[in-house]
């Protein structure tokens, strides 16, 4: 039985997510009146990509290896060259089928190609559906640092069928749920409590619970984006867990996946902010992540306060040498706390 929901952000982005809705993708793209369609997909999704390309009438299909390795300047150049070869114009719709790293790469390229072409994100992971495809942030890595080059440009359409998630390994499925827990922890006590109730069903990947969590994530994030698209104030709260989380990713050479690193970062940042974040809050966040089946233990070889501090100091949010964190002093609320090398070491001890 088909279940779906839509979220329309002003006149900019239409979001359609549901179960059994793949057949609606073609009409949704045609409603944009594109001057041709190019499909970029994760190379591991070839069979799905060929099926979808035929159903939407794509003029070209481009396969790209996913993962953090694709978020590089040379990959942007390669993709732009391929778009030119296929005769893409400013009216062309770039349809992106894959996870968050591919959404970042193709979204960034689409936002600068001919000063911006239509982008349609078709996220195929819970992380991409719950976070990466939403809000218009498009970033690629530079040197050892994550998302140092980027744009903010909203996609024209975000479209996902949760049946696409069925092939995901459990670890990848669950890491996207970390982003839902993060948002609820700093934005909505009622949503956090709902996640606590849904946790067993989410761990078992039940479709109704999955769709409920995704709808929760979309609504929370897009309400924040509507209020603060350029991250001047409120949107910064969505970085909860990312200051230390991104440092863990960088120190590990990207061997720790993003969702896992953020889960580790959530608890590490709360501990670094204690007693502003009380033990009760830390305990409930830890318990929720555990019930979702997500590990929050930083691997010993990456739990080096000195190295993590070096990367934290290079975070995009740093101002005047101060490294900010955005944490929940009470579940559903947020405040800003400065991270120091001493508080980071305390959090890891």
Catalytic residues, which ones? 115, 137, 179, 221, 231, 235, 239, 242, 246, 258
Q: How far apart are the first and last CA of the chain?
A: 50
* Reduced DSSP (H G I as helix, E B as strand, rest coil) percent helix, strand, coil of the chain, to 5: 55, 20, 30
d(CA 75, CA 175): 25
Q: What is the crossing angle of helices 170-187 and 207-227, to 10°?
A: 50
Closest residue by Cα to residue 131 from 178, 79, 85, 185: 178
d(CA 95, CA 14): 14
Are the C-beta atoms of 256 and 247 separated by less than 8 Å? no
Residue 165: its H or E element: none
Residue 161: count other Cβ atoms within 10 Å of its Cβ.
23
Most distant CA pair in the chain: distance in Å?
Answer: 58
Are the C-beta atoms of 176 and 126 separated by less than 8 Å? yes
Residue with tokens 């179960």: 19
Are the C-beta atoms of 93 and 142 separated by less than 8 Å? no
Strand ranges (E), the chain:
3-9, 13-19, 37-42, 60-64, 93-98, 118-123, 137-142, 145-152, 157-161, 323-327, 335-339
d(CA 242, CA 264): 9
CA 189 → CA 22, 141, 183, 211, 333, distances in Å?
33, 34, 10, 19, 8
- Backbone conformation region of residue 298, classed left if phi is above 0, alpha if psi is from -120 to 50, else beta: beta
Token pair of 112 as six digits: 């600068």
């Amino acid at each position: 039985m088909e279940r779906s929901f839509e979220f329309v952000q002003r006149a900019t982005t239409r979001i359609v997510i549901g179960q059994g809705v793949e057949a609606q993708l073609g009409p949704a793209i045609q409603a944009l009146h594109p001057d041709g369609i190019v499909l970029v997909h994760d190379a591991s999704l070839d069979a799905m990509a060929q099926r979808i390309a035929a159903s939407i009438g794509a003029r070209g299909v481009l396969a790209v290896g996913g993962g953090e390795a694709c978020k590089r300047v040379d990959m942007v150049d390669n993709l732009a060259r391929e778009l030119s070869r296929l005769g893409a114009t400013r009216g062309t719709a770039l349809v992106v089928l894959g996870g968050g790293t591919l959404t970042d790469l193709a979204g960034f390229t689409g936002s600068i190609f001919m000063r911006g072409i239509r982008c349609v994100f078709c996220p195929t992971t819970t992380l991409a559906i719950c976070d990466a495809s939403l809000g218009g942030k498009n970033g690629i890595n530079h040197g050892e640092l994550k998302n140092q080059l980027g744009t903010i440009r909203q996609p024209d359409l975000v479209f996902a069928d949760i049946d696409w998630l069925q092939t995901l390994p459990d670890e990848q499925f669950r890491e996207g749920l970390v982003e839902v827990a993060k948002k609820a922890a700093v934005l909505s006590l009622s949503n956090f409590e709902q996640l606590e109730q849904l946790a067993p069903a989410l761990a078992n990947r039940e479709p109704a619970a999955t769709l409920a969590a995704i709808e929760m994530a979309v609504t929370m994030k897009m309400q924040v984006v509507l209020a603060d698209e350029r991250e001047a104030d409120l949107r910064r709260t969505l970085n909860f867990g990312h200051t230390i989380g991104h440092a863990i990713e960088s120190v590990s050479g990207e061997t720790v996946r993003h969702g896992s690193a953020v889960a580790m970062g959530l608890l590490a940042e709360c501990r670094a902010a204690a007693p502003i974040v009380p033990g009760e809050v830390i305990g409930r966040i830890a318990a929720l992540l555990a019930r979702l089946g997500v590990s929050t233990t930083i691997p010993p070889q990456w739990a080096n306060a000195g190295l993590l501090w070096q990367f934290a100091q290079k975070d995009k949010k740093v101002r005047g040498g101060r490294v900010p964190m955005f944490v929940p002093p009470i579940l559903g609320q947020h405040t800003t706390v400065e991270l120091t090398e001493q508080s980071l070491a305390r959090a890891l001890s």
